Amino acid sequence: MCSCNSKTAIQGHADSLDQILVNQVGYFPNSNKVALLRIKTEAFNVVDTATGKVVFTGKPSQLEYWELSGDSVATADFSELTTPGTYRICLNDNSICSQAFSINNSVYTNIAKASLKALYLNRSGMEITKEFGGEWAHAAGHPDTMVLVHASAATKKRPEGYKLSSPGGWYDAGDYNKYIVNSGISTYTLLLFCQMYPEYTKSLNANIPESGNAIPDVLDELLYNLRWMLTMQDPNDGGVYHKLTNLAFGGFEMPDKATEPRFVVLKSTAASLDFAATMAMASRVLAKSDVPEIVELGKECLDKAQKAYAWAKANPSIYYKNPSDVSTGAYDDSNIKDEFFWATSELALATNDFSTLSDKDLNDQAKVVQSWGSVSMLGTLSLAISENSDYKVEAQKVLVDFANQLVEKSTGSPYRVSLDIFNWGSNSDVANMGVIKMVAYQITSDKKYLNSAQTDIDYLLGRNATGYCFVTGFGGKQVMNIHHRPSGADGVAAPYPGFLSGGPNIVVLTDCPDVTRSTFPAKSFVDQECSYSTNEIAINWNAPLFFLLGAMDSMKK
């Protein structure tokens, strides 16, 4: 171990054993600042990396055991330190020091921008130029202007083999396919951000090709995907294709090299409802634009939302299942009560007609963190923050009660996180919990929600049982080998930046056959490309990540 008493030593040292867990990006000067220690110690020091001087000394709490990680941690609270700078937490006469972190008012600006720009880097059908993509520039792939109608989606007017154009959109995850169900929640989350943080949205420059036009970059980015979603509706009946896909997952090659035929597959009730909900929400957000073209697009979105909803009402139980010759992501869901509630809520808000909703509809929904397969909370969020909602008060009560449960879990957890079930994409659950807390904070102005959202950021950026900062390109212990085809095929050592890795879980323990993973769910993670179950990326993980980081960044002074 280094003595860490000199300026040079403090700058160069890092805790290779993850004995000190800290948000590796940093904190606002006036925010809560809590690290976790896996070592029993009487005191901890915060050391300025520039000078080597101890600037704060504190006493940690008692060690607490967490059954989900299989270890014990103590909290090290240094919230009293408010001076901007770069620091490490050190123990045992400064012989063990944490990863470095910053304290300043702009600490989340760059990572918020990167989390949004990651979606640009995952655009389908667009060349990523050096001007905007840097070393991750690549040729365009998948123009999707000659997509085939799969047998499962065939109709008289669009028979099997019919060719249609469906360009644009984001690649869904580590593969090159595009899925309506997952696009819905992802696009919605960005629309919600635009609604809640309009001034920040206007000011954010993400350095994408559209930057500098009359449309905010957040809106420009979501529109790239929303316009693709519009092409997935059959204009003849209003139904929406479930996905645009290859028949099977391809290998790790660049987009322009992946040239297998593409298909639109089966119209499903879930896809049509998710589409209807997203387009109805879009109609409200786009109506506030100063650009006439965008206002008109909003009107088109509402019209298409109503047609998709009508199709779903007429076809209430067409549940998606992969046809025998298709093996890509299914996003299958046979319980779509929540999708009906979300779509009904959004259309009620868009048309100011609440005759199709009731308090019972709202209160009967499962109170769970939003995900692609559980979307009832999305309808609740929209009702809770919309001025013209007949159900605003009741929705706010439901949302705040649930946020209180999340805060209580975080307060009682040794790791100070609300997460107590590690699903596939567990990091996205943490980010979405942060979204709920930020909405609760806007409704109530109670800082307990803001402080709890800070703990979610802390977790994602390094204060977790793996010790990784889960956002690529950031932190001292970085995720480097995400399951993402362009990152794996481009010959660049660093992965595409700004992506949220899926995170630990024990759903699949054999995706990397040569790796023995921990059976403790909070530690069961491996930074290898083969680990699609823990180290893939996805648009529905980055959307709430951007929401959480952007919302926090909007509060900088």
Which alpha helices (DSSP H) does 352-493 contain, by range?
A: 359-364, 376-385, 392-412, 426-444, 447-460, 485-489
Residue tagged active-site, from 339, 527, 529, 553: 527
Q: What is the DSSP letter of 55?
A: E
Element (H, E) at 96: strand 96-97
Q: Measured between alpha carbons, how far is 196 from 428 in angstroms, rounded to an integer?
A: 20
Query: Would you say 454 and 483 are in contact if contact means Cβ atoms under 8 Å apart?
Result: no
State yes or no: is 429 an active-site residue. no
Q: Measured between alpha carbons, how far is 299 from 187 in angstroms, rounded to an integer?
A: 17
Element (H, E) at 278: helix 269-286
Among 525, 494, 493, residue whose Cα is nearest residue 508: 525
Q: Measured between alpha carbons, how far is 538 from 171 in angstroms, rounded to an integer?
A: 8
**Order of strands across the sheet that contains 20-21:** 20-21, 34-37, 71-77, 64-66
Q: Measured between alpha carbons, how far is 198 from 192 in angstroms, rounded to an integer?
A: 10
Residue 500 structure tokens: 């949220």
Residue tagged active-site, from 18, 144, 511, 536: 536
State yes or no: is 237 an active-site residue. no
Residue 28 structure tokens: 């606002």
State yes or no: is 13 an active-site residue. no
Query: Would you say 469 and 462 are in contact if contact means Cβ atoms under 8 Å apart?
Result: yes
Query: Would you say 499 and 488 are in contact if contact means Cβ atoms under 8 Å apart?
Result: no
For residue 411, count other CB atoms closer than 10 A to its CB.
Answer: 13
Q: Which residue has the tokens 């969020």?
A: 381
Q: Measured between alpha carbons, how far is 126 from 17 in angstroms, rounded to an integer?
A: 42
Burial class of residue 151 (count of CB atoms within 10 Å of its CB; 0-12, 13-18, 19+): middle
State yes or no: is 483 an active-site residue. yes
Element (H, E) at 300: helix 292-314
Query: Would you say 320 and 182 are in contact if contact means Cβ atoms under 8 Å apart?
Result: no
C-alpha dist (Å) from residue 389 to 337, 382, 498, 510: 21, 9, 35, 48
Give me the half-sphere count of Cα atoms (radius 13 Å) on the Cβ side of residue 425: 23
Residue tagged active-site, from 483, 484, 490, 553: 483
Residue tagged active-site, from 175, 221, 511, 529: 175
Q: Which residues are catalytic?
A: 175, 483, 527, 536
